[in-house]
Amino acid sequence: MLNQEQIGTYIAARRKAVGLTQAELGERLGITAQSVSNWERGETLPDTGLLQDLALILDTSADELLGAGSCGWRYRRRVTVERMSEAISCIQRLRELLGEDHFMYRTMIDALDKKMNSSIELIFKEERFRDAYVAEALCECARKGDYVDISDVRRNIKSERARNSAIEVLREFGLK
C-alpha cells in the first residue's frame, strides 16, 4: 500500500537535495507549484506519466519514489558540470604526473579524441575551450543514459554558445 505522506516527504527531501524550489520542479514537469506542494503534503500522488521524469530530475528512481526512498538503488548516475570539469582536471593531472608521451595518458587521450568532436589537449592549452568540451562531454553522457540536469548546465557553463548548444541537445534526449 502506498503511503502518500511518506512519498510526499521523500519528494520534498529529494527536491531540496537537488536544490530546486517547488516552482522550478513544477516548471520542469509542466505542472504548477501547487501540484508539487500537494504531493509534498501527501494530499495527492504524482501522475504515473510524470514518474520517470520526476525520478530523473530528483536523481532517484520511480521505484524509490513510490517506496518513499526505501528501495536503496539507483537506475542512472547523475553527471554534473562540476564532476565533468573535475574529471577533465584529473586527465590533465595524469599528463603532469606521467608525461604526455606515457602510454596510459596517450591511450586515454586518443580514445577521447576519437569519440569527441574536439581535442581534449586543446583545452589544456586554451582554457577558453573548456566550457565547450565540458558541454559536449555532458551531451555524450546523456547519450549513454546518464542524467544531466539542464539547470546545472544553465548555471555552470559560462559560454553562452556552449551552454545553449548543450541545452538543445539535452532536450532532444527528453531531459528537463
pLDDT tens digits for range 139-162: 988 887 788 889 999 999 999 999
The answer to whether the beta carbons of residues 138 and 79 sit under 8 Å apart is yes
Mean pLDDT of 70-77: 51
pLDDT at 54 over 90: yes
Show the domains of the chain with their CATH numbers: 4-66 (1.10.260.40), 81-172 (no CATH)
SS (H, E, C) 98-123: HCCCCHHHHHHHHHHHHHCCCCHHHH
What is the average per-residue pLDDT within 117-125?
Answer: 88
Q: Which residue has the cell 555524450?
A: 140
Per-residue pLDDT band for 176 (boundaries 50, 70, 90) equals low
Distance CA 103, CA 161 (A): 34
Which pLDDT does position 38 carry in this prediction?
Answer: 94
In whole angstroms, give the CA distance from residue 169 to residue 157: 14
CA dihedral sign, ordered 41, 42, 43, 45: positive
